[in-house]
Structures are given as C-alpha cells and as structure tokens.
C-alpha cells in the first residue's frame, strides 16, 4: 500500500517539476490536483478594506525608512529560485534515514506546495489585488515588479505549506520551520512586494492545505510493520533507504 502511494506521489512530483519549467515566471502551473477535491475547497477570504490597506502601506513605508543593510543578502538567500527550491534544500537538511524515506518526504512536500500554489493562483485571479508599489509611489521594491496580483502571496503560500508538512514529518523542527516561514513573509513585506495581509493569507492557505496532505500521509501505511517473511539473497533489494552523501 505504502509503496504504491509513494510511487504515485513521486510521479506527481515529476509532473510538478515539468510544469514549473513550462510555466511563466511567478505563475503556478496548471494541472490536476493530487490532494484537493477542487480549488474552492479552501476558501480564501477577501483582501482587507481600503482603509486597512492604507495602514498596511504605512507599515511598508515605515519598514523601508529603517535601513536594514542585510535585506538584500537575506532576500537572495530566500529567493534563489522558484518558491519551492529553498524548502527542497531544507528537506534535504532534515533528512534522517531512521525517521523518514527521502522519497516520501519530498513527495508530500511538493504535492502540498503544488496544490497550494494552484489554489493561490485561483484566489489572485478572483481578487485581482494590485501590489503595494502600484498603489503608492512611496513604496520601493527590492526587485522590479513585473505585473500580476499580490493576494495571496505565492511565496508565503509555499512557505506555509512546506513548513507545515516538514514540521509534521519532523516535529522536533516544527517551531524553527514555522519561524522561517514567517521570516520569509516578513521579507516580502519589507521588500515592498506584498501587503502584510498578502503574506498572512498565503501562510494560512498553505498551512491549511498542508494539513490535508498530512492526513493523507497518516494513512499511507508508513508506520505499519510488515508481517510477512522478507526473502533473502543477493538478488533481492534490502529495502534500506538511500543515504545522503
């Protein structure tokens, strides 16, 4: 049972990679949903009112007035590729052959990010909220804004999904992972690319979808011991998980 589930999820993982390569920059790929029944199964509430948005603009401007010389370095550390890349690296760092199979961890991680990004893309198309720099000339962006909508933030969606899945599989690291997801969200605000509510909605949506993925993981039979007799002989695979070099 477990091997079939892992194989299916790895196929989805491969499809995610191919879809990312074929999609426009910053856009989630369009495809089937491995976990969600449909994109409306996790409702994203509307963005805040104009009054609240104005207060969030003031927060961004205040953050940018307090110079942070480390901001560019921190930005590049968290944005070296698509939203999933930094979390893939963190999954590799957490890998422990005694607790998880590498394939299982990465399958559930990327399935959660995949579904979360698709749900976020649908919500952005629904609400069509312009990013803060297009609503105030006082907001400076660390990198050019190439268009698109900001609510919910796709990087925060991926962070919420990834931190929740990895925190569920490696509970001893849960608090650190969630703090890192929040740090990424804070960087998006300080860099002038997102409103605070963009990132809050993204983290919440990603975490909500990831909890559904963890429910699937809980029923895949990973913890169940095999009751049969394992054949021996050099012609048989020993079943040992791959080790990191």
pLDDT, one tens digit per residue, over 167-188 is: 999 999 999 999 999 999 999 9
- The number of angstroms, rounded, from the C-alpha of 24 to the middle of its chain's C-alpha atoms is 18
CA atoms of 123 and 106, how far apart (whole Å) = 26
pLDDT digits (tens, 9 = 90+) for 43-57: 899 999 999 999 999
Q: In angstroms, rounded to a whole number, what is the distance separating the alpha carbons of residues 102 and 7?
A: 12
Q: Is residue 195 predicted with pLDDT exceeding 50?
A: yes
The 3 state secondary structure assigned to 115-133 is HHHHHHHHHHHHHCCCCHH
Q: What is the pLDDT of residues 61-91, one digit of tens each?
A: 998 888 678 888 888 888 878 889 999 999 9
Which tokens hold the place of 211?
A: 């909890």
* CATH code of the domain made up of 2-25+50-218: 1.10.606.20
Regarding pTM above 0.85, the answer is no
Q: How confident is the model at residue 243 (pLDDT cuts 50, 70, 90)?
A: low
Residue 136 pLDDT: 87
User: What are the extents of the domains in the chain?
Assistant: 2-25+50-218
pLDDT of residue 34: 63
C-alpha distance from residue 80 to each of 3, 165, 233 (Å): 33, 21, 45
């Amino acid at each position: 049972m477990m091997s079939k589930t892992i194989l299916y999820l790895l196929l989805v993982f491969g499809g995610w990679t191919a879809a990312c390569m074929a999609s426009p920059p910053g856009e989630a790929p369009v495809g089937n949903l491995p976990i969600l029944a449909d994109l409306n199964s996790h409702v994203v509430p509307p963005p805040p009112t104009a009054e609240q948005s104005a207060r969030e603009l003031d927060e961004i401007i205040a953050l940018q007035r307090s110079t942070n010389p480390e901001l560019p370095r921190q930005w590049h550390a968290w944005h070296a590729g698509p939203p999933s890349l930094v979390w893939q690296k963190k999954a590799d760092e957490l890998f422990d052959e005694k607790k998880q199979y590498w394939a299982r961890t990465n399958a559930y991680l990327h399935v959660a990010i995949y579904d979360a990004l698709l749900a976020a893309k649908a919500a952005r198309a629904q609400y069509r909220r312009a990013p803060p720099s297009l609503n105030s000339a006082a907001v400076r962006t660390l990198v050019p804004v190439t268009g698109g909508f900001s609510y919910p933030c796709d990087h925060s969606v991926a962070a919420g999904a990834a931190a929740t899945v990895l925190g569920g599989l490696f509970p001893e690291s849960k608090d650190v992972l969630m703090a890192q997801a929040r740090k990424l969200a804070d960087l998006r605000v300080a860099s002038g690319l997102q409103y605070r509510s963009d990132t809050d909605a993204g983290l919440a949506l990603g975490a909500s979808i990831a909890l559904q993925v963890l429910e699937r993981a809980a029923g895949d039979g990973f913890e169940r011991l095999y009751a049969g007799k394992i054949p021996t002989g050099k012609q048989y695979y020993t079943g040992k998980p791959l080790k990191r070099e």
